[in-house]
Amino acid sequence: MAWILLGFAVAFEITGALGLRFSAGFTRGLPTLVALAAFGAALVIVARVMRALPVSIAYPVWAGGGTAGVALLGIAWLGEPLTLVKAAGIALVLVGVVLINRVAEKACGC
């Protein structure tokens, strides 16, 4: 169940970041509310997840998943360019999260 909740936390994190993009510096009401509500939901959920999973697993998955997700949606949905450097950065974030999880799982038996 913790992993499912963590997936929702990542999704809310991505939603919040995209809401920020459309909020025009908190000058547009609906995107501002979406961003604040999504970030709030993400924080509540990830705090709940950390009751079941170690912080060394939950936080990197949440932060890295959000980072990679926002970057990929920026490319796919917002027309941001996909450069070799950006692709390498996204790949490194994902590989980093996987490696941290592998080490943490061995240490805690998760």
The whole-angstrom separation of Cα 88 and Cα 93 is 9
Of the pLDDT bands very low, low, confident and very high (cuts 50, 70, 90), residue 110 is low
Helix (H, G, I), strand (E, B) or coil at 28: coil
Report which secondary-structure segment, H or E, holds 86.
helix 84-108
Q: Which residues are CB-contacts of 77 (< 8 A; sequence separation ≥ 6)?
A: none
Q: Burial level of 61, CB count in 10 A (0-12/13-18/19+)? A: buried
The whole-angstrom separation of Cα 93 and Cα 102 is 14
pLDDT at 75: 96
Domain residues of the chain, as ranges? 2-108
- Note the pLDDT tens digit of each residue in 17-72: 999 999 999 999 999 999 999 999 999 999 999 999 999 899 999 999 999 999 99
